Amino acid sequence: MPGFAPVGSLSAVGASEFTTLGHPMFPRHSVRIKQSHFCDNTVNAYTGYIDIEAKHLFFYFFESRNDPATDDVIFWTNGGPGCSSALGLFMELGPCRVTNATEGTKFHPESWNNNASVFFVDQPVNVGFSYADYGESVSTSEEAALDIAAFLAIFFENFSSFKGRAFHMAGESYAGRYIPLFASAVYDQNAQLLARGLTPINLTSAMIGNGWTDINTMIPSYYDMTCTPASVPPVLGISTCIRMKKALARCEKWVKAACIDQFDSMNCEAAMMFCQNELMVPYYATGLNRYDISRSCEDGAEAFCYPVTKIIEEFLNLPDVRMTLGIDAHVSQFALCSDDVAFAFNFAYDTLHPSIDYVAGLLERGVDVLIYAGTYDWIGNWVGNERWTLAMDWSGKAQFVDQELRDWKIDGKVVGKTRSAKGLTFATIDAAGHMAPYDKPKESLALINKWLAKETL
């Protein structure tokens, strides 16, 4: 490997300028990283860019509050497609929260970096602080996965203390599509690293919260969520629910034939349009929060029903914050979500492909999988997620299906239901919405800490 010299230690990374990382296997990729003192004064924090020629993906990295030299490492991405992981960082599971743009950040005691070091990545390109020089774009999860896998190999190879460390890939919402593909790309890439005499990444698990993983089970679940007491009493009228029930069989049959058994883009799109009109549009008309069926939508769709999202955007557009983070001048304005990226993924039909077989592939190769869901979420609800975990074909299916849902507790209090077998765990978090760590930070952290420690829920 002539010409390659790993940095060796994160302590060698300064705060005044970027340190550049390379890798002999990825000549098109490099990583710029610097210390960034913000958000959590109890740990070292870093920010930087993953440079893939003309594409530049922004990331944050926070060391563990416990033992950064040995603790596990978590990769986190939000969904969309097209939404920044700043949502996860500043609203959900990060080491600080933003509740007032001018007052800065507030220490978050239930952060997931209590016992793990955590990445937050703005991906794909053109999301959040990420950008492209000449209009380059990414429109499929397969393409996005390759860049993320390369980034992780570069990071782990340059900092020797991370070699062999337990590594978990996590995300929520559309990350139900991303994470199975990203983790699979890391797993498959490990064979190439080994062939070059390099250390593989110790991919230990994948974790998905309120994910969009299998359209064949998620779409029909909207009937259960709105017309049965699956989480709250029915929120739609009887006549509406009767029409929805009549549409269910047609929806499931059409989606299975056009999107699952043999993908036909035009027919699949037509099937999805029918299903959405019959099973989703009635809920939109209620004015309820699509991320929390127990409450109304605040400030409308522009704020994703949560006014704090606008505060986060305002905070990240402050000049001093951008300077602290090391944001490239090419990024004129930060936005939590990109309509252009969402359109590109929809236009490429990425949103119509299930990722369930990737989950099965990971499990068959010894990578554990945690599927969790807040019970009040509508859009990526627990009913649809439980159904695909039960329906998934893999060698552990019989053992998993045979397990009854049972209570899991914190300090003797029931906080959800769970089922586990052969490396797969499904868990609910009672009264949490789509952003479960936002609604139930204590319970979400307890779930993750138990998962990292390989404890039974």
Please report how the helices 382-391 and 215-227 are oriented relative to each other, as an axis angle in degrees rounded to 10: 140
Q: For residue 387, give both structure tokens.
A: 């159904």
Distances (CA, A) of 12 to 6, 17, 34, 51: 11, 12, 10, 20
Does the active-site annotation cover 11?
no
Q: In whole angstroms, what is the distance from residue 452 CA to residue 127 CA?
A: 29
Whether residue 382 contacts residue 231, with contact meaning beta carbons closer than 8 Å, is answered with: yes
Question: Which of the residues 72, 122, 350, 377 is marked catalytic?
Answer: 377
Instruction: Read off φ and ψ for residue 442, nearest 5 degrees.
Output: -65, -45
Q: What is the dihedral of CA 142, 146, 151, 157, to 10 degrees?
A: 130
Dihedral (CA of 195, 196, 197, 200) sign: negative
Q: In whole angstroms, what is the distance from residue 444 CA to residue 160 CA?
A: 30
Question: Which of the residues 36, 111, 139, 173 is marked catalytic?
Answer: 173
Question: Which of the residues 29, 108, 353, 434 is marked catalytic?
Answer: 434
Q: What DSSP designation does 159 have?
A: B
- Residue whose entry in the numeric block shows the structure tokens 């990444």: 201
Q: In whole angstroms, what is the distance from residue 77 CA to residue 124 CA?
A: 10
Give the closest residue to 381 by CA, choosing from 184, 150, 237, 222: 222
Strand, helix or coil at 428? strand
Instruction: Read off φ and ψ for residue 64, nearest 5 degrees.
Output: -65, 145
Q: In whole angstroms, what is the distance from residue 123 CA to residue 249 CA?
A: 36
Give the closest residue to 17 by CA, choosing from 329, 330, 326, 316: 326
Q: How many CA atoms lie within 13 A of 373 on its CB side?
A: 31
Does the active-site annotation cover 328?
no
Strand, helix or coil at 165? coil
- Residue whose entry in the numeric block shows the structure tokens 């900092």: 159
Strand, helix or coil at 412? coil
Q: In whole angstroms, what is the distance from residue 122 CA to residue 353 CA?
A: 22
Neighbours of 404 (CB within 10 A): 6
Does the active-site annotation cover 350?
no
Burial class from Cβ neighbours inside 10 Å (0-12, 13-18, 19+) for residue 331 reads middle
Q: For residue 116, give both structure tokens.
A: 């793990």
Dihedral (CA of 322, 323, 324, 328) sign: positive
Positions marked catalytic: 173, 377, 434
